[in-house]
Structure 1
Amino acid sequence: MTLVGSGPDLDEVLAGPGADADVLLVDLNLRGTLIVDRIGELTAAGRKVVVFSAHSEPENVLAVLDAGAEFLDKDESREHCVETIVAVAGSRPYVTPTSAGAMLADSRSQRPALSEQERTALRLWFQGMTKSSVGTRMGITEATVKQYIDRARAKYAAVGRRASTKDALLARSIQDGLIRADEVNGYQSRAWRPENRCPPTT
């Protein structure tokens, strides 16, 4: 990983070298103000965002996940820091303990009903297959696979539990028993180790 830009102001960073960054690592508290509302703007513009913050109250974590970004607590282990950033850069699923805890505590936890085809498409996609490969395996078109995935997202949104990113959708699916963790190759839940905390930010 290479740091291409940094600064205390988000707009200032984006106006400089940070404009070309593969992943934005954003503190939720900038100049004494929580910028939860800005996260949705960034993801809507196609940015891959990891929020790195000590403001890990469930409502903040869920708001970040709903906005399509990933949340990384400043007390997460160094291992989680690296894995989260690398996973987001590669559009791969990764769920930190903080995000998983917030989802489990989500009072909106109404389980949507997914069809068997939707669950199969999700399971194969979560295993790292492209949508085209999933379609080949299932004997359907890539467009239909995308439709199944989008339909699953819509069903979660309909019960007030948006899953805008791949790893958020994976976490919710496992949480609700729609997908088993052992069905997903590469899915990992690592133990928190205090000696490997992320370095403090300034």
Structure 2
Amino acid sequence: MRAEDGGGPIRVVLADDEAMLRRGLRVLLESGGTIRVVAEAGNGDELLAVARTHRPDVALIDVQMPGKDGLSALRDLALLAKPPVAAVLTTFDLDDYVTDALRFGAQGFLLKDAEPAVLVRAVHDLAAGGAVLDPRITARLLPRFRGTTDNAHEKQLVEALSARERQVLLLLADGRSNASIGSRLGLTEATVKSYVSTVLSKLGAQNRVQAALIAQRVAGDFR
């Protein structure tokens, strides 16, 4: 069980080829006692090995690592019997890999220079089932995806959602977990989970991050 369920610290694996960065992140994340870094990895092969051994709740993954890179590791993590929730640790140079990262199941994009409280909260949100997008990353992603998607079609898809489904989508787009959405709307977590699955299906989104980006592209018409 995870700390979010009252069952102990959230178990995290850090994957980055810079040992000093991993050390700093470990100290930062473990400082509050609700997160425990159970393993570190310097490349994708090491990440897969420690993920199999430690079965973490959350994996924070740098994309640019020697040998097996973060994208390849993301793809292979999804094949594990109990894959962790994965988020990409990045700088601003997103363009070359963000589409593949989404396709391979990334549930979040976090900047390495984010404030400590932001990173800690992000790990909690990921463990609870939320999608995490640093606002500075969102600002970069939206213009990129506006040029490659049909916003009119996406608007039609969102318009076709029920009023309750749109409420769930907009809260999901704010990075809220199922439990947080349920608390806000007076719904059980199981009911929210069902709504989220329906919303993803209706939008043709593979995961919560893709749904969040769709919502943020057309949100002005529905808030």
Q: Give the TM-score of the pair, scaled to structure 2.
A: 0.59
Structure 1 residues 134 and 79, CA gap change in structure 2 (3 angstroms): closer
d(CA) in 1 for partners of 2:68, 2:56: 23
d(CA) in 2 for partners of 1:119, 1:95: 24
Question: Conserved in 1, the CA contact under 8 Å of 2:200 and 2:207?
Answer: no
| SS at 2:97 equivalent | helix
Structure 1 residues 132 and 50, CA gap change in structure 2 (3 angstroms): closer
Q: Structure 1: any 5+ residue segments left out of the alignment?
A: 136-141, 155-162, 184-202
Question: Conserved in 2, the CA contact under 8 Å of 1:67 and 1:164?
Answer: no
Structure 1 residues 85 and 28, CA gap change in structure 2 (3 angstroms): same
Query: Residue 28 of structure 1: CA displacement?
Result: 0.9
d(CA) in 1 for partners of 2:144, 2:167: 24
For residue 153 of structure 1, what is the aligned residue in structure 2? 203
For residue 51 of structure 1, what is the aligned residue in structure 2? 88
Query: Residue 59 of structure 1: CA displacement?
Result: 3.4
For residue 4 of structure 1, what is the aligned residue in structure 2? 38
Give the alignment partner of residue 124 of structure 2, picking from 74, 86, 106: 86
Letter in 1 for 2:161: Q
Structure 1 residues 84 and 132, CA gap change in structure 2 (3 angstroms): closer
Q: Structure 2: any 5+ residue segments left out of the alignment?
A: 1-34, 173-179, 183-187
Query: Residue 23 of structure 1: CA displacement?
Result: 0.4
For residue 40 of structure 1, what is the aligned residue in structure 2? 75
Letter in 2 for 1:57: L
For residue 150 of structure 2, what is the aligned residue in structure 1? 110
Query: Residue 147 of structure 1: CA displacement?
Result: 6.3
Pairing 1:121–2:165 present = yes
Query: Residue 164 of structure 1: CA displacement?
Result: 2.9
Deviation sequence 1:12-33 (CA, Å, 0-9, x none): 3433476311001111121266
Question: Conserved in 2, the CA contact under 8 Å of 1:23 and 1:89?
Answer: yes
Query: Residue 169 of structure 1: CA displacement?
Result: 1.1
1:89-100 equivalent positions in 2, closer than 5 A: 89-100=127-138
| SS at 1:128 equivalent | helix
Instruction: Flag the structure with higher helix content.
Output: 2
Between Structure 1 and Structure 2, how many residues are aligned? 165
Larger relative contact order, structure 1 or 2 (CA cutoff 8 Å, min sep 6): 1
For residue 101 of structure 2, what is the aligned residue in structure 1? 64
Question: Conserved in 2, the CA contact under 8 Å of 1:119 and 1:179?
Answer: no
Give the alignment partner of residue 133 of structure 1, picking from 188, 191, 197: 191
Q: Give the TM-score of the pair, scaled to structure 1.
A: 0.64
Query: Residue 37 of structure 1: CA displacement?
Result: 3.3
Question: Conserved in 1, the CA contact under 8 Å of 2:58 and 2:85?
Answer: yes
Instruction: Flag the structure with higher strand content.
Output: 2
Query: Residue 51 of structure 1: CA displacement?
Result: 1.3
Deviation sequence 1:78-120 (CA, Å, 0-9, x none): 3332222221111123321243121332221322222443563
Question: Conserved in 2, the CA contact under 8 Å of 1:64 and 1:71?
Answer: no
Q: CA RMSD in A?
A: 3.2
For residue 23 of structure 1, what is the aligned residue in structure 2? 58
Pairing 1:74–2:118 present = no
For residue 212 of structure 2, what is the aligned residue in structure 1? 170
